[in-house]
């Protein structure tokens, strides 16, 4: 299967690492925004075609699909372009940064019949898959998810500390992970939502701290704290407080509430959530089926993010 990679930043490279471990998939083109950086990534990875023009990448011989690891503000436009070109698409989260654009993408995907997936990677991390399997088997029920998403980003930089040409967003990007995961684990759209945010950064134009609350139909709650002001360990840390035990998930690793590590090696064919998401995308294309975390399935998270934005009563403008 021949695909094109769109983006040259930290997450594009994570997808390229994953694809190197997947048989019968070849990245034949990379499309990015900064020529020097795109050239460097292509040279390092042996990708034969380099361009800053997405249409040129999509029309390379044999290309069937694209993975979008580009800046959030252009996800919707690029995903639309890929689908209209008749190619399958995997979009890094969020699929868009408004509910209206998300709904339009879902409608277009249904119209084309192509495989269209959003990379809600938490669904695929072995740690969260282990919890999900226990829930489906009736062995666990969530009482509360307590989640912390912490970074130190008082300047406009990416996960590698490199300068960004766009501004990240706590609600429409980082909260999106947890909102989707909570709804996936509890089986439906949150019935109640609350949201608070701290002061808007004078230069970045975004809130640097946020607190979110969700409640499911079952009565389970989620408390989510997010910050770009945190000096300390970076990342997202999930505590599942269940009727039968407490569990702490840190990306692909899982621990009991007392800190004992749980072996999740048998959950899936890989321990890397990004690789597992990519494998699901390619398998869905080959099998002609809807993938787990399709755009249609991801729409519920966007509905809830829109409600949270309304609860905040203000639309941060940096992402527009």
Full pLDDT tens readout for the chain, 320 residues: 999 999 999 999 999 999 999 999 999 999 999 999 999 999 999 999 999 999 999 999 999 999 999 999 999 999 999 999 999 999 999 999 999 999 999 999 999 999 999 999 999 999 999 999 999 999 999 999 999 998 886 766 655 666 666 667 889 989 999 999 999 999 999 999 999 999 988 888 888 999 999 999 999 999 999 998 988 888 899 999 999 999 999 989 999 999 999 999 999 999 999 999 999 999 999 999 999 999 999 999 999 999 999 999 865 544 43
Task: Give the number of other Cβ atoms within 10 Å of residue 243's Cβ.
Answer: 9
Q: Where are the domains of the chain?
A: 2-121+274-292, 123-270+301-312
Residues in Cβ contact with 127 at an 8 Å cutoff, skipping those fewer than 6 apart: 238, 249, 250, 251, 252, 253, 254, 264
Cβ proximity of 124 and 273 under 8 Å? yes
Task: Give the number of other Cβ atoms within 10 Å of residue 190's Cβ.
Answer: 24
Q: How far is CA 216 from CA 129, 143, 182, in A?
A: 19, 10, 9
The H or E element containing residue 27 is strand 26-31
Smallest Cα–Cα separation from 147: which of 238, 73, 55? Answer: 238
Burial class of residue 250, CB neighbours in 10 A (0-12, 13-18, 19+): middle
Tokens of 55: 């249409």
The H or E element containing residue 192 is strand 192-197
Which class is domain 123-270+301-312? alpha beta
Sign of CA dihedral 318, 38, 92, 265: negative
The domain over range 2-121+274-292 is classified in CATH as 3.10.560.10: no
Q: How far is CA 170 from CA 67, 200, 249, 301, in A?
A: 23, 12, 20, 14
Q: How far is CA 163 from CA 34, 75, 156, 234, 257, in A?
A: 12, 19, 6, 18, 37
């Amino acid at each position: 299967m021949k695909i094109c990679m769109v983006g040259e930043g930290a997450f594009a490279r994570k997808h390229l690492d994953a694809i190197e471990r997947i048989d019968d998939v070849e990245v034949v083109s990379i499309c990015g925004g900064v020529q020097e950086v795109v050239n460097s990534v292509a040279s390092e990875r042996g990708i034969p075609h380099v361009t800053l023009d997405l249409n040129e990448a999509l029309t390379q011989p044999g290309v069937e699909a694209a993975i979008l690891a580009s800046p959030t503000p252009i996800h919707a436009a690029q995903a639309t372009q890929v689908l209209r070109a008749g190619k399958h698409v995997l979009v890094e989260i969020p699929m868009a940064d408004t509910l209206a654009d998300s709904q339009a993408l879902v409608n277009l995907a249904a119209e084309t019949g192509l495989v269209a997936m959003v990379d809600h990677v938490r669904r695929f991390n072995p740690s969260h898959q282990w919890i999900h399997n226990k829930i489906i088997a009736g062995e666990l029920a969530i009482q509360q998810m307590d989640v912390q998403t912490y970074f130190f980003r008082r300047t406009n930089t990416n996960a590698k500390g490199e300068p960004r040409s766009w501004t990240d967003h706590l609600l429409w990007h980082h909260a999106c992970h947890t909102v989707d995961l909570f709804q996936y684990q509890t089986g439906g759209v949150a019935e109640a939502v609350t949201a608070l945010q701290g002061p808007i950064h004078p230069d970045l134009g975004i809130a640097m701290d946020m607190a979110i609350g969700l409640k499911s139909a079952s009565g389970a709650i989620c408390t989510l704290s997010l910050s770009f002001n945190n000096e300390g360990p970076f990342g997202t840390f999930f505590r599942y407080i269940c009727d039968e035990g407490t569990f702490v998930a840190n990306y692909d690793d899982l621990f009991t509430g007392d800190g004992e590590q749980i072996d999740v090696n048998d959950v899936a064919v890989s321990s890397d959530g990004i690789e597992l998401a990519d494998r699901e995308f390619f398998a869905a294309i080959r099998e002609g089926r809807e993938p787990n975390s399709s755009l249609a399935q991801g729409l519920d998270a966007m509905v809830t993010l829109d409600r949270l934005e309304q609860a905040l009563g203000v639309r941060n403008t940096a992402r527009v």
